[in-house]
Amino acid sequence: MIRRVYAAVVKTIGQGPVYELVDVPQPTKNQVQIQVIAAGIHKVVRSIADGRHYVKVKTLPFIPGIDGVGTLPDGKKVYFVNMAPPNGTMSQLVNADENMTIPLPENADPVHFAAIMNAGLASWTALTERAQIKSGETVLVLGVTGSSGQMAAASARLLGAKRVVGVGRNKSLLNQLVADGTIDVSVPLDDDDTKYQELIAKEAADVDIVMDFLWGRPTEIAMAGIHSGRNDSSQHLRWVQVGQMAGATIQLNGGFLRSKNVELIGSGIGPISMKQMLQSLQRMVPMVVEGKLKTSVLTIPLKDIESKWQETADAKERVVVVM
Ligand SMILES: NC(=O)c1ccc[n+]([C@@H]2O[C@H](COP(=O)([O-])OP(=O)(O)OC[C@H]3O[C@@H](n4cnc5c(N)ncnc54)[C@H](OP(=O)(O)O)[C@@H]3O)[C@@H](O)[C@H]2O)c1
């Protein structure tokens, strides 16, 4: 039986979605039908819908969204991933691969989970699966004031980091993150490159892991600071490229790679398999339920998607559509 439900529908790449009725067929053999409660408009969701992402949508119209929280026909709550354009997750009903779901406890807040799991991929999963963080290590987070950056700092702590250094351009938020213990030391991103480089050399030259949400110029300067200040050239440094808020490319000094034990790795769907991602996120669930990992959320009703999509593009909170 085909069911007609409301969804966010993108008709032209770059023009944002409209609120419209769509047909949802019966799920196939390996699918489950999910009554969606909430789905996040993550950065990746916007960039796919705008045609800026390396994932290109080939069929129009399409429903945006890559994950969400909903209930199975038996009422059980699940987080699910559905990266199969044109059928994204911003729909009241979604047919998803049954292997792409994570059970959530009854008391899990669906909106919070819809917001936080993508930030978890960029932080918790990147730290465990890509950086393979060990207890007692020091972590530098470039872009710590963003939602994924704050999650990376909090996750690093929960995973045993001894010291967390955070770089960002919002000085009052940096101070707050030091005050509430999310990070030990902050390094403000300064217009004065020399000052920023000196601070990195002083506070972060001996880090074990860099979680890089910025790339571009701030990364080039941070690399120069670590290059100049690092004491033990054999100490293993994992530089994890997670986001590119400050630029898509960098100029990389070859001497940095030859003179220090640096491993430059990326994190995202590709180097991390879907199975690995779901297993890792499943291990994160109790941390979220217990309030040890959290993020701030802005909710919008699905029926207002057309006006709110653009209006919330620069929101500081993670934006979640509630069905
Ligand atoms: N690879 C993955 O698995 C994965 C998963 C999720 C997200 N990501 C990526 O991670 C990045 C952060 O995502 P998010 O959701 O955490 O975003 P967010 O909450 O919007 O945070 C973005 C952060 O970037 C900072 N920023 C923006 N432009 C900057 C610039 N030119 N120089 C310095 N800082 C700048 C912002 O600083 P202000 O606060 O000062 O504006 C803010 O702290 C994005 O690139 C996203 O695509 C990757």
CA–CA dist 136, 116 (Å, integer): 26
Domain 3-118+273-322: give its CATH code. 3.90.180.10
* CA–centroid distance, residue 146 to ligand 1 (Å): 5
Pocket of ligand 1 (CB under 6 A): 43-44, 118, 121-122, 143, 145-149, 168-170, 189, 213-214, 218, 242-246, 267-268
The predicted model scores a pTM of 0.94
Of 272, 236, 226, the closest CA to residue 122 belongs to 272
AA identity, residue 10: V
d(CA 217, CA 67): 32
Neighbour-count burial for 108-140, b at 16+ CB within 10 Å, e otherwise: bbbbbbbbbbbbbbbbbbbbbbbbebeeebbbb
Structural domain boundaries in the chain: 3-118+273-322, 132-266
Which atom of ligand 1 is nearest the CA belonging to 145?
43
Q: Does residue 84 have a pLDDT over 90?
A: no
* 266 CA: nearest ligand 1 atom: 1
C-beta separation of 150 from 167 below 8 A? no
Closest ligand 1 atom to Cα of 44: 47
Instruction: Count other Cβ atoms within 10 Å, centred on residue 194.
Output: 9
> Which of 41, 43, 193, 241, when mutated, tests ligand 1's pocket best, judged by the most ligand atoms within 8 Å of its CB?
43
Question: Residue 95 pairs with which residues in a beta bridge?
Answer: 33
Q: Which of 245, 276, 280 to mutate to test the pocket of ligand 1 (most atoms within 8 A of CB)?
A: 245
Q: Using one digit for the tens of pLDDT, what is the confidence trace for 286-322?
A: 999 999 999 999 999 999 999 999 999 999 999 999 9
pLDDT in tens, 116-172: 999 999 999 999 999 999 999 999 999 999 999 999 999 999 999 999 999 999 999
59-80 per-position pLDDT tens digit: 899 999 999 999 999 999 999 9
pLDDT given at position 190: 82
As a whole number of angstroms, the distance between CA 211 and CA 207 comes to 11
Centre of ligand 1 to C-alpha 108, Å, is 26
Atom of ligand 1 nearest to the CA of 126: 3
CB of 144 within 8 A of CB of 168? yes
Q: Give the distance from CA 160 to its chain's centroid.
A: 20
Distance, CA 274 to ligand 1 centroid (Å)? 22
| CATH of region 132-266 | 3.40.50.720
- Phi and psi based region of residue 128 (left: phi greater than 0; alpha: psi -120 to 50; beta: remaining): alpha
Report how far ligand 1's centroid is from the alpha carbon of 169 (Å).
11
- Main-chain dihedrals φ then ψ at residue 180, nearest 5 degrees: -90, 5
Mean of the per-residue pLDDT values of the chain: 96
61 CA to centre of own chain: 26
Strands 67-71 and 31-40: antiparallel
pLDDT tens digits, 22-34: 999 999 999 999 9
Task: Using alpha carbons, list the distances in angstroms from residue 207 to 120, 196, 237, 250, 318.
Answer: 22, 16, 7, 20, 29
**Residue 56 pLDDT > 90, yes or no?**
no
Atom 10 in ligand 1: residue holding the nearest Cα: 243
Beta bridge partners of 187: 167
DSSP string spanning 51-111? T-SSS---SSSBB--SEEEEE-TTS-EEEEE---TTB-S-BSEEEEEGGGEEE--TT--HH
The pLDDT confidence band at residue 54, using thresholds 50, 70 and 90, is confident
CA 295, CA 285: separation in Å to the nearest integer? 14
- Average of per-residue pLDDT across 202-226: 98
151 with 116: CB under 8 angstroms? yes
